[in-house]
Amino acid sequence: MRSERNKDGSFTVWMTRDEYHELPRAADTFQREIAIRLMGDCGLRVAEVLDVKPEHISRKSDGTHYDLEVVSGKDTTGEYKGGKHRETWLPRELEALVNRYCQQHDVADDQVLIDRGKRTVQYWVEQAAEGAVEETGDEDYRRVSTHDLRRCWANHLLVEENVSPRIVMALGGWSSYDAIEPYLAAPTEKNIISSLSSVSF
């Protein structure tokens, strides 16, 4: 894990996927795990997490994968009242977790999954981070914010999985390449070895 101090004194934290996975693992309820994973596995902003309802989940045309409609996405252009709609990728494992949670807690299709405030979700991440510190001994988890989860998601797709920036922009709700450029950290050693081991010099 790598953290950088920003000019305002806050920190930007760069996590590998294995490091990120410690956070949902440390969540002590299904609801908290879902909230964390909506940011870290789907790229949602913390405010967007609060609007997710079961009715926003749909199966893709291949019959196997899932979409999540983001109904109140942040709009930096000023063109959309009430936020900009988009669809993002919902991992099958997370869809199954959401479905199980809804069945166990009688959550209707038109009810929000996370019936809490923004600060509460931020606190859940802080609590999960404390659990990750206890599990791993890595004190940098104490610096992890909700936005670091979205950053980890974008960085993983762009740098580790080489997903097209245009696809990541569409999934994450960014309107320009300049907006996602900060999510392009330097490739990891593992990524460099994987990319160049078969190259002939």
Burial of 95 (0-12, 13-18, 19+ CB in 10 A): middle
pLDDT tens across 52-99, in order?
999 999 999 988 899 999 987 555 555 544 567 899 999 999 999 999
How many angstroms separate the CA atoms of 110 and 45, rounded? 20
- The confidence score (pLDDT) of residue 137 equals 96
What separation in angstroms does the CA of 175 have from each of 52, 77, 172, 182? 22, 8, 9, 14
pLDDT tens across 129-147, in order?
999 999 999 999 999 999 9
- The confidence score (pLDDT) of residue 160 equals 86
